[in-house]
Amino acid sequence: MKKIVLGLLVFGFTFQSFSQNVEQLAEVWIIATNYKYLSETDAEDEALPIELLQRKVATYDIKSSDIYNDEYDHYEVAFYIPEGKILAAYDKDGKVLRTVEKFKNVKLPVSVSQSIQKRFPGWNVTKDVYLVNFHDKKGVTKKMYKLRLENGDKLIRVKTDDEGNFL
């Protein structure tokens, strides 16, 4: 009987020696500094490469960049993909101040496509350029499509906003 009690006692202590140590970790705060840029430039049916590049701009950490220096108030960084480019200006804290974006031959939103087909039946879009200008201080985001339409040997150029309204 002594062996059983002694065995259970040793067995109980060995399990406690393998128990986990619980440590209190420091509190972590996640702050989305560029949420305004993402919400202003985000569209429902925007092409995937555009959305991915805009997210890259919003999550870019200027402080870990080679060009970062505490003496400067703002920085300009260019982002490129085969479909287009974004030139973004950041403040010293990494907030997006303004962007100039240009994308070529991207998938048009449904509203723009329907507007073109309604106003110009039988015409085909042969070339398109999507332009976005975001400015944080002014609270203005301008989105525009420059389209080249062809119908046989006829050619016209039109401009629309992101909702399909002709400019």
**Does 20 fall in a domain?**
no
Residues 153/123, Cβ–Cβ less than 8 Å: no
pLDDT, tens digit, for every residue of 55-91? Answer: 888 888 887 777 777 777 888 889 999 989 999 998 8
**Does 21 fall in a domain?**
no
**Does 7 fall in a domain?**
no
- At a CB cut-off of 8 Å and minimum separation 6, what does 121 contact? none
**Does 149 fall in a domain?**
yes
- pTM (2 decimals)? 0.73
**Does 6 fall in a domain?**
no
Which residues constitute the domain of residue 119? 34-161
Cα distance between residue 75 and residue 46, in whole Å:
27
Residues 141/40, Cβ–Cβ less than 8 Å: yes
pLDDT, tens digit, for every residue of 130-139? Answer: 999 998 888 7
CA angle 143, 99, 54 (to 5 degrees): 80
**Does 105 fall in a domain?**
yes
Percentage of the chain lying above the pLDDT 90 cut: 26
Band of the pLDDT at 100, cuts 50, 70, 90? very high
**Does 10 fall in a domain?**
no
pLDDT, tens digit, for every residue of 1-24? Answer: 667 766 666 666 665 555 556 677
Cα distance between residue 64 and residue 44, in whole Å:
32
Cα distance between residue 25 and residue 35, in whole Å:
27
Count of alpha carbons within 13 angstroms of residue 87, beta-carbon side: 5
Residues 136/97, Cβ–Cβ less than 8 Å: yes
> Which 8-state DSSP code applies to residue 64?
G
Domains: count for the chain: 1
- At a CB cut-off of 8 Å and minimum separation 6, what does 135 contact? 97, 98, 141
For residue 157, give both structure tokens. Answer: 């150029």
Band of the pLDDT at 46, cuts 50, 70, 90? confident
Residues 151/123, Cβ–Cβ less than 8 Å: yes
> Which 8-state DSSP code applies to residue 70?
T
**Does 65 fall in a domain?**
yes
